[in-house]
Amino acid sequence: MTDGEHLHELSRGECLELLQYHSFVGRLGFLASGGGPMILPVNYLADETSVVFCTAPGSELGRLDDAAPVVFEVDDSRPLEHSGWSVVVRGVARAVTDPDEVEALNRGPLRSWAATPPVQWMRVTIQEITGRRIGR
C-alpha cells in the first residue's frame, strides 16, 4: 500500500454535502486582534455560498474586521477504522448587518452554544472549498 492509496480528493459537491449535512461544529481560523493566528470552534449553518454563525458582540470573533480573510474547517474521524474526512473553506468574514437578514437569522434554528442574546451574526463567504477523505 502506498501513502496516497486511500486518500481521495473530494469534489465541490461532496465538500458542500459534508459541510451542510454532516457536521454542525467547525473551527474558524483567523488573525486575532493582536495579529497572531487563532482558531476557535463555532456551531454553524451553511448553504452553497456561505457559512453563518453567531458570537457575542465585542468577542474576538465579533471584532473581526469587515472582509477579514478566514479559513473554516469541519471534519470527522473514525480512529478504529483509520478513516475520516476534512473540508476546508477559504473566504472572508463579514458581520451581518441587514436588519431583515438579522431578524431571519434570529428566528432560524441556529443558536450559539456559548453566546447569549444579543448576538452578532457573522457570514463567511465561500471563495474556495476543498476536501479530502482517507480510508475505505
Position with higher pLDDT, 123 vs 79? 123
- Tell how strand 37-43 and strand 25-31 pair up: antiparallel
Q: Which three cell numbers stand for residue 91?
A: 473566504
Q: Which residues pair with residue 84 across a beta bridge?
A: 77, 134
Domain boundaries, the chain: 7-134
pLDDT tens-digit profile of 54-97? Answer: 999 989 999 888 889 999 999 999 988 889 999 999 999 999 99
pTM more than 0.85:
yes
Find out if CATH 1.10.3720.10 is the number for domain 7-134: no
